[in-house]
A = this chain, B = another copy of it.
Amino acid sequence: MIQKLIEEITKKNAPVVVGLDPMLSYVPKQIQKAAFEEFGETLEGAAEAIWQFNKGIVDAACDLIPAVKPQIAMYEQFGIPGMVAFQKTVAYCKEKGLIVIADIKRGDIGSTSAAYAVGHLGKVTVGSKSYAVFDEDFATVNPYLGSDGVKPFLEVCKEQDKGIFVLIKTSNPSSGEFQDQKVDGVPLYELVGRKVAAWGEECMDGDYSNVGCVIGATYPEMGKIMRQKLPKSYILVPGYGAQGGTAKDLAVYFNEDGL
């Protein structure tokens, strides 16, 4: 799957991912108004508003960008109608040729991570049938539980040619509270990075691995170091714009091949 992402990035000459994290308050008033007129100020109305907002963004941007990153929390908060909007957004983006990186940050004990992995990236079995449920291309994964929580995702990545991005160093201000703590002189995020390299070896797809990592744009000095330590991993870099990351900060996250 990482090769497909690379192809799309190269074809569109744009190593960018557009976030689809619609806060209802940021959705233009006329879109909200139309949705509320049809469904009332209900969860269905909210879901319709964010879906229409997303659709507008996707229609406008799909020829220019390779990938989108919907943040599931922004849909999940609106319950079942929100989850329907999430699923519809994922399907629509794929229909438009976009690669979908679902920002779900799941991670649990083995059997539970397996359920998340099949539900989001793989196929879930029901009796003699199996179904691709959310069918995203990539998902973000939280590493706090260690290998047990990540391996079920690796299995699905191998079987279905999908990918994951494991959180290493997140973009938020307090990410250092635990992630920067030093273990024998090595920060925790780097220890997680070493595991990402090992997990990634199992899931190579050409020169890069289907196991990438997440490092916030707000920490470019750490991004620079980790770029060197993880030459085969794609780095998903959130935090550009609203969170304070600048274009200049981003340069260090690229390899010499521009990827």
Residues of chain A whose beta carbon lies under 8 Å from any beta carbon of chain B: 21, 23-24, 32, 36, 41-43, 45-46, 71, 73-74, 76-80, 82-84, 87, 105-113, 115-116, 118-119, 124-129, 131, 133-134, 142-149, 167, 170-179, 181-183, 188, 191-192, 195, 243
Q: Which of A77, A82, A171, A243 has the most CB of B within 10 A?
A: A77
**Chain B residue with Cβ nearest A128:** B41
On whether the beta carbons of A87 and B83 are closer than 8 Å, the reply is no
**Chain B residue with Cβ nearest A140:** B108
On whether the beta carbons of A42 and B126 are closer than 8 Å, the reply is yes
Contacts of A124 in B (CB 8 A): 43, 46, 77-78
Q: Which of A73, A119, A170 has the most CB of B within 10 A?
A: A73
Q: In the complex, A41 Cα to B128 Cα: how many Å? A: 7
On whether the beta carbons of B45 and A79 are closer than 8 Å, the reply is no
Contacts of A42 in B (CB 8 A): 126, 129, 131
Q: Which of B23, B24, B149 contacts A126 (CB 8 A)?
A: B24
Q: In the complex, A32 Cα to B118 Cα: how many Å? A: 20
* Known A-B contacts A115-B74, A146-B172, A172-B146; A127 and B181 likewise in contact (beta carbons under 8 Å): no
**Chain B residue with Cβ nearest A125:** B24
Q: In the complex, A80 Cα to B147 Cα: how many Å? A: 28
Q: In the complex, A191 Cα to B183 Cα: how many Å? A: 13
On whether the beta carbons of A172 and B143 are closer than 8 Å, the reply is no
On whether the beta carbons of B188 and A172 are closer than 8 Å, the reply is no
Q: In the complex, A21 Cα to B53 Cα: how many Å? A: 35
On whether the beta carbons of A108 and B105 are closer than 8 Å, the reply is yes
On whether the beta carbons of B133 and A172 are closer than 8 Å, the reply is no
Top 10 A-B pairs ranked by shortest CB distance? A77-B119, A146-B177, A146-B174, A41-B127, A109-B172, A79-B133, A73-B115, A148-B174, A77-B115, A181-B183
Q: In the complex, A84 Cα to B170 Cα: how many Å? A: 32
Q: In the complex, A45 Cα to B128 Cα: how many Å? A: 12
On whether the beta carbons of A144 and B143 are closer than 8 Å, the reply is yes
On whether the beta carbons of A119 and B73 are closer than 8 Å, the reply is yes
